[in-house]
Structure 1
Amino acid sequence: MRAAFFDLKLDRAFDYRTTLLDLVDRHRAGGDLLVLVVTEYRTATRGLAPPVDRDPLRIGPDVVLVMDPLADLTGSPPVTVIEAIARLGLDPARCFGYADHEDGLRTLTVVGNPRVFGDDHRLAEVAGDRGWPRLEFSGPSGNPARPPEPVPPAP
């Protein structure tokens, strides 16, 4: 089984929602598990912040991983993503990752097929250094400046 991890910031994701939904459809058609990685902030004084919408992009994920950014200040890959891959019996080399922000490196560094959305400078730099594909978009219409490559079929 394969999985596609989507670790996206909402303020950016709506700019390329059309292409994102196309990728989701391709992965779903290929039988891939859809995993949404969301960030939920906790504060010491107020307890849990207001609840996070677990499917804000309406992609219908099979699994939602909730990340606590304060627990992941080391810069190392998050235990949550690694643990999900292990518990679901997935081969990391067959997993895809999509991110549009520097914190998304937490996901991209543990999957075999990382893909970078948008124009985050740090993420673009790492993608260039590691040879990761970048999906660039021309604007809010979601039309790609360079079309995303097709999702390869599952073996």
Structure 2
Amino acid sequence: MNAAPLDPSAHRLSPHFSLAEMTVSATGSRLGLSNLPGPRELATLTRTAERMEEVRALLGNLPILVSSGYRSPAVNRAVGGSSSSAHMTGHAVDFICPAFGSPAKVAAHLARNLTAFDQIIEEFGDWVHIGFGPGQRRQLLTARRIRGRTRYTAGIEGV
């Protein structure tokens, strides 16, 4: 007997993060692309949601708004994501925490206080990308668009 399909709106990955918000994709919805993870990605995404609980606690337990968590390969291509994006494995989240402060302030605070992560990227002054991939590189980057291209510089302002 096959398991019932996941209902993203009802499936909680952790106390504050649902499958629906960790798979949200305006682009995927607009293009009619499925963005449900497979079993392996779902297990990883659950661990990522648990790590996001740690992030939330470091940010004073203030609400976090996820703009991108898991991305299916089709959704990742549609948004112009890297072919090796940690979003496709469920290891990465793009988010903001407006009640805490700007993305730069959030990224700097996490860079100083989070002990285990792969990447923290303050992107375009608009959001924070955090990756919990197996590499645990503790890589800190700032992304900016310069003449239509994304440029990454080492570090995060204030760290």
Taking structure 2 as the reference length, the TM-score comes to 0.29
Taking structure 1 as the reference length, the TM-score comes to 0.30
